[in-house]
């Protein structure tokens, strides 16, 4: 029997897990994927919004600025990359200028710091590769970038060291109400809980329907993103936002926290909640929009592409409330700025639980910090020499593009990586120009040795994404020789 079970291990579920691990409650998290952060969070743009975008009178607007201010401390505690690079929201049409003025007023009223209107001369001085057709830009220095999957791993590792029990590869099949408790069935066992927090992302409405608590619907909205070759690093130094549309913030130019530039996303409403395909039309739309903003960027610079699905509710706002079913809470419809708002959403939910008579007594031994992965590429020559002297595995380069060593890969495996993507998202092996062309076989060897399994069981991101198949020797018939 658990006091609380969280369903869903995306950025929201992981933030909830860490926040709840502060208290003396028996806590578990069930995630349907083989590792946390492998759903929508993995394909998030990684932007910590400046705090002025979301409309007033919404939970999005309420949480955006307060969430922005928490990520710097979280990054220090959980040892993931974080950079304040600021953003420019640009206007290329005269009819867009009033939108910039209105957004600045909205940000000023919220207390967002440093907002400035820039004219063409300042824009060209700061970002010489942007189009000369830009009339004005709203500069917001509080915007930042992170890797959302690194944040998920850090949050969940902290929660685990403080008592969370994590069960990946445990999709919820059914939930039954039993007196004052719930019984949750998964293919790998059953669980009982007093309270359920439904943070199941794209499938939150399905999970809610299992207990008759579906008061909302979720629709998937696909966004395609394109990662560019590292040689374009520095082509822009700020996040570049166009004036948004009714359904999207538009196609962005994103200098990622690790250096390479990313462009996207698209915004396409679809029906299939499993459709992560990219398309020629998506690429055409993205690069046509980007060329208007930054003519020097070309689709020929792409080294990889991927798609993610946003969980969109009918209200187009976050759904964070107690359901009609006692002790069942929905945390759903978490799209942009959901990443930014995640730590505030977690504390908001904790206060909801406290207001509904859950006894929350803080632990005396709760530990905020984790060690975090080593980063050989970021070390000085002196530190690299010392690391190799201490552990010879630092002297073995596994991924040449990103300069990732065997020691780092072994760290990732020790800390929960069971797939190629699990290693890649923890230590960047396979993220460079060759996209794993050099390092994949070595990564497979290390995973197979650590888990004592055959190479045929190594997957990219879980069952159904095996890299190779086991071939049994076939003795040809005499007539076939």
Tens digits of per-residue pLDDT, 184-193? Answer: 999 999 999 9
Confidence of residue 476 (pLDDT cuts 50, 70, 90): low
49 is catalytic: yes
- Asked whether residue 470 is domain-assigned, the answer is no
Bond into 337 cis (ω within 30):
yes
Q: What is the CATH number of the domain that holds 451?
A: 1.10.10.1100
Q: What is the CATH number of the domain that holds 43?
A: 3.50.50.60
Cα(289)–Cα(204) distance, integer angstroms? 33
What are the tokens at 323?
Answer: 């359901």
Mean pLDDT of 99-105: 97
Strand partners, 332: 319
Average pLDDT, the chain: 95
Confidence of residue 475 (pLDDT cuts 50, 70, 90): low
Q: Write down the pLDDT at residue 472.
A: 59
Both 149 and 51 in a single domain? yes
In a domain, 184, yes or no: yes
Cβ atoms of residues 76 and 333 within 8 Å: no
* Catalytic one of 49, 52, 53, 139: 49
Query: 416 — phi, psi (to 5°)?
Result: 115, -10
| Domain boundary residue, one of 267, 294, 309 | 309
- Asked whether residue 52 falls in the same domain as residue 180, the answer is yes
The mean per-residue pLDDT over the stretch 139-150 comes to: 97
Look at 104 and 481; give whichever has higher pLDDT: 104
Whether 117 and 259 share a structural domain: yes
Same domain assignment for residues 161 and 239: no
Q: How confident is the model at residue 481 (pLDDT cuts 50, 70, 90)?
A: very low
Q: Which domain holds residue 347?
A: 1-82+144-217+314-370
Q: For residue 187, how many C-alpha atoms fall within 13 Å in the half-sphere facing its CB?
A: 7
pLDDT of residue 308: 96
Together in a domain, 193 and 155: yes
Q: Do 74 and 120 lie in a common domain?
A: no
466 in a domain, yes or no?
A: no
Q: Residue 179: its pLDDT value, please?
A: 86
Do 194 and 75 lie in one domain? The reply is yes
Question: In this predicted structure, what is the pLDDT of residue 480?
Answer: 47
pTM score, whole prediction: 0.95
Q: What is the pLDDT of residue 254?
A: 98
**Domain assignment present for 240:** yes
User: Does residue 205 belong to any structural domain of this protein?
Assistant: yes
Which CATH number do you get for residue 268?
Answer: 3.30.9.10
Give the total number of structural domains in the chain.
Answer: 3
């Amino acid at each position: 029997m658990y006091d609380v079970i969280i369903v869903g291990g995306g950025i929201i579920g992981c933030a909830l897990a860490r926040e709840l691990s502060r208290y003396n409650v028996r806590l578990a998290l069930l995630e349907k994927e083989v590792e946390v952060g492998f759903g929508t969070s993995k394909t998030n743009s990684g932007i910590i919004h400046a705090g002025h975008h979301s409309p007033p009178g919404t939970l999005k607007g309420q949480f955006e600025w307060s969430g922005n201010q928490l990520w710097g401390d979280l990054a220090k505690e959980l040892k993931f990359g974080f950079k304040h690079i600021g953003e420019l929201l640009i206007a290329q049409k005269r009819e867009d200028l009033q939108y910039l003025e209105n957004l600045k007023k909205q940000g000023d009223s919220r207390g967002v710091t440093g907002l400035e209107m820039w004219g063409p001369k300042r824009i060209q001085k700061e970002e010489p590769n942007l189009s000369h057709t830009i009339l004005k830009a709203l500069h917001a220095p509080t915007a930042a970038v992170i890797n959302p999957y690194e944040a998920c791993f850090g949050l969940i590792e902290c929660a685990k060291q403080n008592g969370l029990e994590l069960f990946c590869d445990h999709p919820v099949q059914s939930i039954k109400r039993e007196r004052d408790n719930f019984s949750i069935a998964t293919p790998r066992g059953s669980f009982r809980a007093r309270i359920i927090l439904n943070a199941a992302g794209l499938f939150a409405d399905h999970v809610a329907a299992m207990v008759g608590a579906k008061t909302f619907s979720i629709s998937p909205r696909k966004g395609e993103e394109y990662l560019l070759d590292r040689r374009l690093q520095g082509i822009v130094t700020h996040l570049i936002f166009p004036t948004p549309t009714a359904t999207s913030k538009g196609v962005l130019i994103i200098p990622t926290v690790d250096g390479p530039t990313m462009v996207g996303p698209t915004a396409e409403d679809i029906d299939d909640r499993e459709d992560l395909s990219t398309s020629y039309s998506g690429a055409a739309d993205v690069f046509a929009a980007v060329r208007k903003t930054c003519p020097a960027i070309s689709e020929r610079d792409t080294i990889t592409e991927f798609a993610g699905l946003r969980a969109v509710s009918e209200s187009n706002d976050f759904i964070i409330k107690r359901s009609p079913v006692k002790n069942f809470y929905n945390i759903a419809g978490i799209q942009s700025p959901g990443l930014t708002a995640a730590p505030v959403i977690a504390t908001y939910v904790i206060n909801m639980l406290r207001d509904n008579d859950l006894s929350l007594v803080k632990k005396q031994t709760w530990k905020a910090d984790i060690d975090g992965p080593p980063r050989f590429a970021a070390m000085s020559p002196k530190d690299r020499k010392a690391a190799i002297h201490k552990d010879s595995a630092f002297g073995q380069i596994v991924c040449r593009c990103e300069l990732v060593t065997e020691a780092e890969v072994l760290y990732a495996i020790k800390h929960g990586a069971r797939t190629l993507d699990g290693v890649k998202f923890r230590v960047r092996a396979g993220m460079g120009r060759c996209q794993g062309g050099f390092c994949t076989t070595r990564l497979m060897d290390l995973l197979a040795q650590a888990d004592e399994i055959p190479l045929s069981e190594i997957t990219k991101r879980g069952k159904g994404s095996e890299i190779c198949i086991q071939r049994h020797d076939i003795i040809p018939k005499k007539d076939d020789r």
